[in-house]
Every structure is written in structure tokens, then in C-alpha cells.
Structure 1
Amino acid sequence: MIYICNKNADDKGRHEVHVSSCTHRPLPENTLELGYFNSCHEAIKSLEESNKGKEFNFDGCFYRCKPCHHG
């Protein structure tokens, strides 16, 4: 599945990860395409590794990445 990330953080400072077909995805200008992953866990792990040492936090979409959603 192809995953994307919102370039803008939410009110808790997290960048939300979505599947590309999610109806709650960010606007195109706020979207970072992550690529193909087998799960939201893999997509978030990739983001965390590529942003190591930076002040970024990630969360899964409530609707389509529920296993990675922490509220």
C-alpha cells in the first residue's frame, strides 16, 4: 500500500500518516509521499529513521491507519 504523510503537524505536534486512498488525507500541497509499505508501522518506522535527531513525531490516521493511531 502507498503511504503519505501530512507535512503540517496536528495540534499535538504530530505529522499524520495516511494511506494514499484515504478520504481524510491532507491537501496535495501538504502531502509528502512516502512510498510503498506493508503496514503503517513500517511507514512510520521509515519516517522515524529518516528524521532521527529531529523534533518530528508521527501518528497514524484514525480512519485508515488505526493500528498506528495514538490519539
Structure 2
Amino acid sequence: MYVYYVNRNAQPNGNHEVHRSDCPFVPFNKQDLGYYLHCQSAVVAAKRYFAQSNGCYWCSKPCHSA
């Protein structure tokens, strides 16, 4: 299991990226999502805060969409 976070600051395209705690790109301004086995569950949790959320390209690639 990993701790996941969602970036409170949107990317230029409006997405709020979901990151695992071991990702080198975890932002400073983040919302703690809790422990999840897979990024899919973490993205669902992130969408409670930010409707336009998806996975980080580097640490949550299965949940990343361009």
C-alpha cells in the first residue's frame, strides 16, 4: 500500500495530479488522500476534492491520461 496525495494546484490543462508518497514529483501544496493499493482508488478519492483529477505520469502511469 502507498500513501497518495493530490496536488491542490492544477496543471495548465486543469488536471490535479495524484502522486504516490515515493514520487520525486510530490508537490508541496498537497491534499492527503490516504492509503491505497492502486492509483485507481486514489484518483476516485481525489475527485471528491477536484473533479478533474488524474494520475501522475511518473508514479501513477496506469491512471494518467493526457
Q: What TM-score do you get using the length of structure 1 for normalisation?
A: 0.83
CA deviation string 1:8-51 (max 9, x = no partner): 00011010000011101112xx1111100111100111222x34
Residue aligning to 2:55 = 60
Structure 2: any 5+ residue segments left out of the alignment? none
Measured on the aligned residues, the alpha-carbon RMSD in Å equals 1.3
Q: What TM-score do you get using the length of structure 2 for normalisation?
A: 0.88
Structure 1: any 5+ residue segments left out of the alignment? none
Higher helix share: 1
**In 1: Cα distance, 2:13 partner to 2:40 partner:** 19
- Corresponding pairs, count: 65
Question: Identity over aligned residues, as a percent?
Answer: 37
**In 2: Cα distance, 1:56 partner to 1:46 partner:** 10
**In 2: Cα distance, 1:57 partner to 1:65 partner:** 15
**In 2: Cα distance, 1:47 partner to 1:3 partner:** 9
Instruction: Say whether the 8 Å CA contact 2:18–2:46 is kept in structure 1.
Output: no
Residue aligning to 1:19 = 20
